[in-house]
Amino acid sequence: MGSIVPISAQSQVSAKSQEPLQSQKPLRFVIQPFQSEQKTRTNFQPLADYFQKLTGRKVNIVTYPNFISYWAETQKTGSYDISLDAAHFIDYRNKNKDFTVLAKQPGIISISLIVSEDNLVFDASELIGKKIATLGPPSIAAVRIYELFNNPVRQPSIIEVDNTGQAMSMLLSGKVDAAMIPTPLVSVQMAGEGGVAVVSTSDSIPGMAISVSPTVSSEIREKLLKGLLTADKSESGKKMLKQTKLNPFEKSSNKDYFGYSKMLDENELPAGQ
């Protein structure tokens, strides 16, 4: 006759048996879709690999084709474990999903309204009725274009694109009259192939940051934080920074992004589930 195991003991055995499975469960790493899905995976795979080396856990990159689908998933609970994101999404997760900011890219970031270099435009108002390519809401680019053109009867023709590369391509090929592009990418274009001119640049916000969900253990958090802050001091970290073209990370916290989620209200998007 078999022995009877008390219910409390059975629960303990069950919990312990699941611990190895939980520890081997891949970490889901999401990056905001300012680039195409393929380019996002290619560019940030070295960072995912670095996280895997730090934690001993497999890290899977999660991508979305555009900001509408990304925003819908962001509002759900448990969609991912680690994020690399812009200020307004970071603050939203901090307040509504109990995420914790670990480290950020140094400095600040802005969005620039650009035209082709042979198109003499000196003020954004000259583009009313013209075609402007931009990432869709609730991207920072969409927020900034709404700020520029806040009169509902004096609007440009907004051409929503899935990524900044598409917006730049449409501008350079003459399919649109202007584009809203992150200023660092504008600088890269001007230093390289050129062909663009800046009409205006938005107010700046803190750089992108890495944050983690409440389901990520304190042990994993510490490993990620230490690895991010010392990336420029190790061979594997230096390799990752070079491959991703990221700057060395600096320590950050939720308070650095407090209040930026109010930018999402300007888009008046439907709530997720």
- Give the chain's radius of gyration (CA, Å): 22
Instruction: Report pLDDT for 34.
Output: 87
107: left (phi over 0), alpha (psi -120 to 50) or beta: left
Residue 14 has pLDDT above 60, yes or no: no
Helix axes 218-229, 37-55, angle to 10 degrees: 110
Tokens of 103: 């480290």
Instruction: Report pLDDT for 45.
Output: 98
CA distance 229 to 231: 6
Rounded to an integer, the average pLDDT of 10-21 is 44
Per-residue pLDDT tens digits for 64-86: 999 999 999 999 999 999 999 99
Helix axes 235-244, 37-55, angle to 10 degrees: 170
Domains and CATH numbers, the chain: 17-108+206-265 (3.40.190.10), 111-203 (3.40.190.10)
pLDDT-derived band at 93 (thresholds 50, 70, 90) equals very high
pLDDT-derived band at 266 (thresholds 50, 70, 90) equals low
Instruction: Report pLDDT for 232.
Output: 98
Residue 271 has pLDDT above 80, yes or no: no
Per-residue pLDDT tens digits for 242-260: 999 999 999 999 999 999 9
Q: Which residues are paired to 84 by β-bridges?
A: 31, 210
Percent of residues, the chain, with pLDDT higher than 70? 89
Per-residue pLDDT tens digits for 182-211: 999 999 999 999 999 999 999 999 999 999
Per-residue pLDDT tens digits for 131-179: 999 998 999 999 999 999 989 999 999 999 988 999 999 999 999 999 9
Residue 50 has pLDDT above 60, yes or no: yes
| Residue for token pair 């759900």 | 76
pLDDT-derived band at 10 (thresholds 50, 70, 90) equals very low
Burial class, 254, CB count within 10 angstroms (exposed 0-12 / middle 13-18 / buried 19+): middle
Residue 97 has pLDDT above 90, yes or no: yes
